[in-house]
Amino acid sequence: MGHSREGKVARIALTCLLPLVLLAAACTLDATAPCDPPPESWDPALNTHPNGAAFQELLDRYVERGLPGVVLLVRTPEGLWNGASGYARVETGDVMTPTHRFHGASVTKMYTATAVMLLVEDGLVELDAPIREYLPEDVWRPIPNGGEATVRQLLSHRSGIPDFSGNLRYDLDSLNDPFGELSTEKLLGYLHGQSSWIAPGEGYFYSNANYVLLAMIVDAVATSGHAGIISQRILQLLGLTATYYKNEEGFPTPPGLVNSYQDLAGDGRLMNVSDLTIQGAKVLFGNAGLIATSGDYATFIEALMKGEIVSPETLATMSEKPTETSTYGLGLSLVLTDFGVAVGHSGAELGAMSGVRYYPDRDATLVLLSNGGDGGLPERLFNELWSEAKEALCCMAREKGQIPHPPKRDYATR
């Protein structure tokens, strides 16, 4: 979809103004106050993985290069390692620990998708039903493809519905009033008048709006709403007491929440943007907003992939193996690697980046979390570290003769 000359000029101006506006908002923070510590500590004796020292060296190296703080969890048949490096709050030297809480950003989509699939199992939602069967007409009709897109297409990002993220009006309003309330009507209003990128079902187009609409569908058919389904049938079922969404006490500022940092000017200098990241968790739903520890993220993806939340049939529907043109199932990113198919999701937003993966063929789990945000130096370093951590798993398997030499590269996924 093309943009007018005026639109291009406005986007250039927006890019130039962004660091200044965010800087003004970030400067309202009390940078001298320490973080609330996590309510529990991590027992180093639980780290039984033989490669623990190498994992720690890896984290320390990336903190030295500029990441504010990072936590890595690796669980394989050889053992568990859950470690940290850097700072939960840079200004006061609060040391990062494995039990600190991190914003999950788009990792939240896995939980929303799971809530939807639970209702599919209950017979309350049909995957191939048009979303207009569940949502009021004044919601779906003004949205491009809103009358034709199905629940399945929302889950797989094949609805063709445009995204509010990156929309010029949304970006400008976020800058003008970064701490303002964001109603459902206002959020979906950014889609009105946009053009769809593709017809429903004709291709993949990643859109956060898909998951806002999915949350609204669950809210419409389940008395407890999507947040209630996530709380009752996922978090409470699994005993995830260090995960916080909309209904959990302490949300969106639970004890042990890390501070968030952003390279606003693109010069490698980090600014504390915690209030802005917390505001995003408050106002966004379905597509983002969940907060958890590395251990809780790992427990969730393992339980999901081992059939402890949804049935094996439902899981197979969610995680069909990818093809050359299909790397996203129903709420799950799917990647072909030499370590087998990797299933999970990544997340990136202002002041936070995350990656959660499970390798069913190897019964291996990888969780990487950082309090450095999407953009600039933290994003570059996080992506490099994420690549090294994934390769470390493959190297271990190759050394044991479990997979062949040389490694094949992952192909891209969100």
- Give the residue with greater pLDDT, 54 vs 403: 54
CA distance 215 to 228: 11
pLDDT at residue number 35: 74
At the top level of CATH, which class does the domain 5-28+47-399 belong to?
Answer: alpha beta
Is the model's pLDDT at 158 over the cut of 60? yes
- The answer, yes or no, to whether the previous bond of 407 is cis (omega within 30 of 0) is no
Q: What is the pLDDT of residue 24?
A: 52
C-alpha dist (Å) from residue 62 to 10, 55, 335 = 36, 11, 25
Query: Residue 134: its pLDDT value, please?
Result: 98
Asked if residue 93 has pLDDT above 90, the reply is yes
Which among 51, 163, 45, 59 has a CA at the least distance from the CA of 382? 59
Mean pLDDT of the 258-262 span: 97
Instruction: Identify the pLDDT of residue 403.
Output: 46
Tell me which of 85-99, 375-389, 393-407 is least confident. Answer: 393-407
User: Does the pLDDT value for residue 402 go beyond 70?
Assistant: no
Closest by Cα among 167, 222, 216, 215 to 189: 167
- Choice between 396 and 384, residue whose per-residue pLDDT is larger: 384
Whether residue 14 is predicted with pLDDT greater than 50 in this model: the reply is: no
Query: Cα(87)–Cα(58) distance, rounded to whole angstroms?
Result: 16
Find the angle CA(266)-CA(101)-CA(183) to the nearest 5 degrees.
75
pLDDT of residue 29: 57
Q: How confident is the model at residue 106 (pLDDT cuts 50, 70, 90)?
A: very high
Instruction: Compute the average pLDDT of residues 115-143.
Output: 97
- Of 19-23, 266-270, 323-327, the poorest mean pLDDT is in 19-23
Residue 58, sorted as left (phi over 0), alpha (psi -120 to 50) or beta, turns out to be alpha
**Is residue 85 very low, low, confident or very high in pLDDT (cuts 50, 70, 90)?**
very high
pLDDT at 49 over 90: yes
At position 366, the amino acid (one-letter code) is L
CB atoms within 10 A of CB 158: 23
User: Residue 402, Cβ neighbours under 10 Å: how many?
Assistant: 14
Using DSSP, state whether 377 is helix, strand or coil. helix
- Report the chain's terminal Cα–Cα distance, integer Å: 21
Query: Is 269 within 8 Å of 193 (Cβ atoms)?
Result: no
Q: φ, ψ for residue 331 (rounded to 5)?
A: 85, 5
The whole-number pLDDT of residue 9 equals 36
Report the pLDDT value the prediction gives residue 193, as an integer from 0 to 100.
87
Q: Please report the DSSP string for 228-245 in residue order.
A: HHHIIIIIHHHT-TTEE-
Q: Is the pLDDT reported for residue 2 higher than 60?
A: no
The model's confidence at residue 36, banded by pLDDT at 50, 70 and 90, is confident
**Rg of the chain (C-alpha set):** 21
Distances in Å between the alpha carbon of 376 and those of 85, 104, 325, 414?
A: 20, 19, 29, 18
Instruction: Compute the average pLDDT of residues 30-49.
Output: 85
pLDDT higher than 60, residue 25: no
| 6 pLDDT above the threshold of 60 | no
* Of 335 and 70, the one with more pLDDT: 70
User: What pLDDT score was predicted for residue 15?
Assistant: 43
| SS3 of residue 357 by DSSP | strand
Among 172-176, 220-224, 227-231, 361-365, the least confident range = 172-176
Q: The pTM is what? A: 0.90
Average pLDDT over residues 326-336: 89
Query: Can you read off the two tokens belonging to residue 28?
Result: 């309202």
Where residue 265 falls among pLDDT bands split at 50, 70, 90? confident
Taking 70 as the threshold, does the pLDDT of residue 107 lie above it?
A: yes
**Mean pLDDT for all residues in the chain:** 88
* Mean pLDDT value of segment 110-139: 98
Confidence band (pLDDT; 50, 70, 90) for 185?
A: confident
CA 221 from chain centre, in angstroms, equals 25
What average pLDDT does range 279-291 have in this prediction? 96
Domain residue spans in the chain?
A: 5-28+47-399
Name every residue whose Cβ is closer than 8 Å to that of residue 180 and which is 6 or more positions away in sequence. Answer: 173
- Average confidence (pLDDT) over 389-407: 61
**Could you give the percent of the chain with pLDDT greater than 90?**
72
Whether 160 and 205 have beta carbons less than 8 Å apart is answered as yes
Residue 233 pLDDT grade (very low, low, confident, very high; cuts 50, 70, 90): very high
